[in-house]
Amino acid sequence: MKSRSFSVRAGCWTKAGEVSLGQNKNMNMLWIQSGSCGGETISFLNAEQPDIMTAFHLLNIELLWHPTLGSIGGHEVIPVLKACTDGSRPLDILVVEGAVYQGPRGTGQYACFGGRPLMDWVRDLANAAGYVLAAGTCASFGGIAAAGRNPMDATGLQFYRSRPGGFLGENFRSSSGFPVINLPGCPAHPDWMVETLLDLSSGKLNLSDLDRFQRPRVFYGKLAHHACPRNEYYEFKASAEMYSQQGCLFENLGCKATQCESDCNERLWLGRTGSCTRGGFPCISCTSPKFPDGFVPFFETRKIGDIPTTLPLDVPKAWYVGISGLAKLACPERLKVNAVSFKSVETEGETKS
């Protein structure tokens, strides 16, 4: 393949201008949607460098079926699913998008496909698959589908919120020996999905690479707070009081980037140009098992006294409480002024921010 941009982590260009991906083998992949808004599919379709069709080609992945990309639908899909579950067609990777609906009363009848509960298809396909990927927070932990009173009895594949178990059970392992590989996000970044497929196809993903919630550490081992362009304001506790102001969004406007385990502000979105906080919007910690119920209200900060209840994960709580007051005292005048300004303001004796 001739020269073109290629950002998948383990890929590299040879001198001849051809991509080398190591020992990746031919793999069959099936993507099914359960209790989902389709957001993961939309995000996946926005993959760049490479786009998904190029990625399938480079990674030697044959897409057996996808609700959007598949050329067949309805009852034509049933023979494909049956061939995967009975072993007559190898299923190397199963991707499940959306929570599993178990209601009413454990029957799964709220969501059916091909004359049987969709949850039964999920169970049979997962038991036949080499690897099982949960795409998005709903598939990983229940997410929005499991919020509130959860009338659909929705759950993630192997977690219900932060509690191990979920639909497949805590002890589930695919034929490769892996638990469900969770790729949460609302939606998940397309790179998280494409690069995980790369690691699976090249045999580079190990059990030790997954964190306590079975997420690849390479994507979820940081905080969305890291590399946020508002971090100078955060360090001095110079906070915005309303949207479109330049200050930190954590103290008053509900930003949970210090709680959100993801690399959103390093990897960037939308053509690799933006993120929630770069657009002036508070992070809602959508990769967390507690999302959404654990983070409401989203756009105001709950506090005990002057201390937010959602303290950062990367510093001890006692340290934060002790240092925050000192940080405010040391805050430069430039930051105090600009934090509550809608555009940079030059202050006397200090350079323009």
Beta strands in 87-129 (DSSP E): 93-97, 100-101, 112-113, 116-117
Instruction: Please report the pLDDT score of residue 3 as a whole number.
Output: 31
User: Is-cis flag, bond preceding 117, omega within 30?
Assistant: no
Instruction: Please report the pLDDT score of residue 136 as a whole number.
Output: 98
Instruction: Please report the pLDDT score of residue 264 as a whole number.
Output: 95
In total, how many domains does the chain have?
2
Contact 184, 136 (CB under 8 A): yes
Q: Of 218, 251, 284, which one is at a domain's C-terminal end?
A: 218
Strand partners, 296: none
In one-letter notation, the amino acid at residue 322 is G
Domain harbouring 295, CATH code:
4.10.480.10
Below-70 pLDDT ranges, the chain: 1-24, 347-353
Domain with 321 in it: 231-339
In a domain, 348, yes or no: no
Nearest-angstrom CA–CA distance, 159 and 176? 19
The verdict on 162 and 303 lying in the same domain is no
The verdict on 176 and 146 lying in the same domain is yes
Instruction: Please report the pLDDT score of residue 345 as a whole number.
Output: 79
The verdict on 108 and 246 lying in the same domain is no
Around Cβ 279, how many Cβ atoms within 10 Å? 10
Nearest-angstrom CA–CA distance, 214 and 278? 28
In a domain, 100, yes or no: yes
Domain harbouring 42, CATH code:
3.40.50.700
In a domain, 213, yes or no: yes
pLDDT, tens digit (0-9, with 9 covering 90-100), for 77-98: 999 999 999 999 999 999 999 9
Instruction: Please report the pLDDT score of residue 174 as a whole number.
Output: 98
In a domain, 224, yes or no: no
Instruction: Please report the pLDDT score of residue 321 as a whole number.
Output: 79
Query: CB within 8 A of 197, min separation 6: which ones?
Result: 29, 55, 59, 61, 93
